[in-house]
């Protein structure tokens, strides 16, 4: 049954926003201090349950604005669950429960009056397997804005142009916007999905292994793109590829068995981890 819900307030400007000592607050933050940085997402003692199975235990982690935060860890340790809990994508799975706090710009995203559609507009998602709709390139990118009520063709064209340019796909497709998206290569399809996510003007992009199905050249393009996008967006990326985490992110959180073992600046976590478990993982002793 649809309910009327209030919207999460748009983000405040950096000038008036509260700041938290950076870089991240975790169970065992190891990073060295730097000037205060605004936090986009904060989870505090967040636990997550699939029915009686507890997949996440007391996760306290902050995601600085306009940065790339990578989540690494062995398969099944809760990285995707954590990512999906940020924009309530897990809500669609029956029997799930969240405890603790998930704050976006200091507002609880699980508060009963939150408009989930609005939340997902602000917090877009890109999945491991590119999922273009069986529609034209144009219609794929215009999909979100159309659902949101945009009918003006000139405005839609502008959004499609902008999003494809931001996703570094424009030059490859500008002369064939009416062609089927399914005719694009795998790497192009993934950038199309990024363009589709960008079309609704999100503030955060959640990426769940966005390059794991791609060849090295396409992976490099996606990584370049992530690097470019962080100027304007906050990005949280799940990756099983530690080299990728080291290349694209400023902050890294290491998850294991549903717990956040360690979080800190990427360079520090990979060169001088605070926890033995992290060291064992990054040196390939398990995982």
CA distance 33 to 102: 24
Is residue 256 at the binding interface for ligand ADP, with CB under 6 A as the rule? no
DSSP state of 11: P
SS3 55: strand
Is residue 55 at the binding interface for ligand ADP, with CB under 6 A as the rule? yes
Nearest approach in angstroms of CB 15 to ligand ADP is: 36
Stretch of 19-27, 49-57, 59-67, 275-283 contacting ligand ADP, by CB under 6 A = 49-57
Half-sphere exposure of 104 (CA within 13 A, CB side): 26
Nearest approach in angstroms of CB 142 to ligand ADP is: 31
Is residue 69 at the binding interface for ligand ADP, with CB under 6 A as the rule? no
Nearest approach in angstroms of CB 93 to ligand ADP is: 5
Q: Which of 22, 23, 26, 78 is close enough to bind ligand ADP by CB under 6 A?
A: 78
Is residue 43 at the binding interface for ligand ADP, with CB under 6 A as the rule? no
Nearest approach in angstroms of CB 73 to ligand ADP is: 6
Is residue 72 at the binding interface for ligand ADP, with CB under 6 A as the rule? no
Residues sharing a CB contact under 8 Å with residue 225, sequence separation 6 or more, in sequence order: 167, 168, 191, 194
Residues sharing a CB contact under 8 Å with residue 81, sequence separation 6 or more, in sequence order: 48, 55, 56, 90
Residues sharing a CB contact under 8 Å with residue 111, sequence separation 6 or more, in sequence order: none
Is residue 4 at the binding interface for ligand ADP, with CB under 6 A as the rule? no
> Where would I find the beta strands (DSSP E) of 138-249?
204-208, 234-238
Count of residues that bind ligand ADP according to CB under 6 A: 12
Q: Which of 81, 128, 190, 266 is close enough to bind ligand ADP by CB under 6 A?
A: 81
| Residue 54 CB-density burial (10 A; 0-12 exposed, 13-18 middle, 19+ buried) | middle
Compose the 207-246 pattern: x for residues touching ligand ADP by CB under 6 A, - for all others: ----------------------------------------
Half-sphere exposure of 39 (CA within 13 A, CB side): 22
**Nearest residue (CB) to ligand ADP, 13 versus 75:** 75
Q: Which of 37, 40, 79, 247 is close enough to bind ligand ADP by CB under 6 A?
A: 79
CA distance 123 to 34: 26
Nearest approach in angstroms of CB 51 to ligand ADP is: 7
CA distance 87 to 236: 12
Is residue 261 at the binding interface for ligand ADP, with CB under 6 A as the rule? no
CA distance 247 to 4: 43
Nearest approach in angstroms of CB 257 to ligand ADP is: 9
Is residue 49 at the binding interface for ligand ADP, with CB under 6 A as the rule? no
Q: Which residues bind ligand ADP (CB under 6 A)?
A: 50, 53, 55, 73, 75-81, 93
């Amino acid at each position: 049954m649809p309910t009327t819900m209030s919207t999460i307030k748009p983000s405040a400007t950096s000038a008036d926003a509260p700041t938290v000592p950076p870089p991240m607050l975790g169970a065992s933050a190891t990073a060295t201090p730097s000037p205060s940085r605004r936090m986009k997402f904060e989870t505090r003692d967040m636990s997550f349950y699939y029915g009686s199975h507890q997949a996440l235990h007391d996760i306290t982690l902050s995601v600085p604005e306009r940065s790339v935060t990578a989540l690494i860890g062995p398969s099944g340790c809760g990285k995707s669950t954590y990512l999906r809990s940020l924009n309530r994508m897990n809500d669609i799975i029956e029997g799930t429960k969240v405890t603790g706090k998930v704050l976006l710009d200091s507002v609880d995203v699980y508060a009963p009056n939150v408009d989930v559609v609005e939340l997902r507009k602000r917090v877009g998602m890109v999945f491991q397997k590119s999922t273009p709709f069986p529609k034209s390139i144009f219609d794929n990118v215009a999909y979100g804005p159309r659902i949101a009520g945009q009918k003006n063709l000139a405005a839609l064209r502008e959004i499609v142009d902008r999003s494809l340019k931001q996703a570094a796909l424009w030059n490859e497709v500008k002369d064939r916007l009416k062609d089927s998206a399914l005719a694009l290569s795998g790497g192009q399809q993934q950038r199309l999905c990024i363009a589709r996510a960008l079309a609704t003007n999100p503030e955060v992009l959640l990426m769940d292994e966005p390059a794991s199905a791609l060849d090295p050249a396409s992976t490099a393009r996606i990584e370049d793109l992530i690097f470019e996008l962080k100027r304007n967006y906050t990005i949280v990326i799940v990756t099983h590829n530690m080299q990728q985490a080291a290349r694209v992110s400023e902050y890294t959180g290491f998850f294991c068995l549903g717990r956040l073992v360690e979080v800190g600046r990427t360079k520090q976590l990979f060169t001088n981890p605070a926890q033995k478990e992290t060291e064992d993982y990054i040196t390939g002793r398990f995982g």
